[in-house]
Amino acid sequence: MSTQPAAAAATATGGRPQPPARSGGAAALGWILTIGLNVVAPILTYNALRDHGWSEFGALLASSAWPVLDSAVMVAWRRKVDEFALVTLVFIVITAVVSLVGAHTARALLVKDSAVTGLFGALCLATLLAPRPLMFYFGRKFATDGTPESTAWWNGLWQFEGFRRTMTVMTTVWGVAYLAEAGVRIVLAYVLSTDTMVVLSPVMIYGVLGALGVWTALYGKRSAAEGERRAAAAAAASTGG
């Protein structure tokens, strides 16, 4: 499915093409693999290795094997590279590199954690210079079931200016938010006690993530509705003309 059929469908409906029917089984299996190999397995591996005396760097490096496996599974299964797994791998590698830098005191480790989220924010902003920003690939992971039809539908949306603007705005907001969150946590790491920051730091991390998730969902729906309204108005004006 190319962008030409997508454009034809958009013209016929007065807006963006509708997504193909999702395969519940394929979507469920894809999410099990994604969450299992990119989130659960790395965390369990890291904690188990740390309990057995591995260094922070060694445990992080070993846990990065799981996203690599996820990418290999996706290539073998769907004949394509999973950008979500690649980003996860990059994030783990960044964390491993940052863990090697500087002192290893409790405060230094808190600052390093903040630096990692800050680097992720910088990565988001850096992809604005790429052909497609980071949230385009994250959105494709969440909005499709990974089948060729749904992937082609999502890729075809890139031809629409409103869709491109939405992906750019989302990527910008995520990048700026994580840079700001990292900056605030670094300052607080020096202002507050370590005991306080051990509790506050994860609250800030997941709080920002949750807030961004809610904002992204609401903004995406509003942008889609606005695009449909503009398309309908344009179609009505064309018919009236």
Q: What is the pLDDT of residue 85?
A: 60
Give the model's confidence band at 3: pLDDT under 50 very low, under 70 low, under 90 confident, else very high.
very low
35: tokens are: 């969450």
pLDDT (average), residues 87-115:
70
DSSP 52: T
Q: What is the pLDDT of residue 97?
A: 72
Q: What is the pLDDT of residue 79?
A: 60
Residue bearing the bigger pLDDT, 60 or 241 = 60
Q: What is the pLDDT of residue 10?
A: 39
CB 7 within 8 A of CB 159: yes
- Please state, in angstroms and rounded to a whole number, the distance separating the CA atoms of residues 190 and 180: 16
Report the chain's mean pLDDT, rounded to a whole number.
75
Residue 42 has pLDDT above 60, yes or no: yes
Give the model's confidence band at 175: pLDDT under 50 very low, under 70 low, under 90 confident, else very high.
very high
pLDDT (average), residues 59-88:
66
Residue 188 has pLDDT above 80, yes or no: yes
Residue 46 has pLDDT above 60, yes or no: yes
- Please state, in angstroms and rounded to a whole number, the distance separating the CA atoms of residues 6 and 198: 50
Give the residue carrying structure tokens 């997941």: 206
Give the model's confidence band at 197: pLDDT under 50 very low, under 70 low, under 90 confident, else very high.
confident
CA distances from 88 to 22, 39, 63, 92, 199 (A): 25, 9, 11, 6, 24
CA dihedral sign of residues 132, 176, 225, 146:
positive
Q: Which spans in the chain are helix H?
A: 3-13, 24-35, 41-51, 56-63, 65-78, 83-100, 106-126, 134-143, 148-156, 161-191, 194-240
What single-letter amino acid sits at 191? Answer: V
CB 189 within 8 A of CB 197: yes
Output the pTM of the full model.
0.67
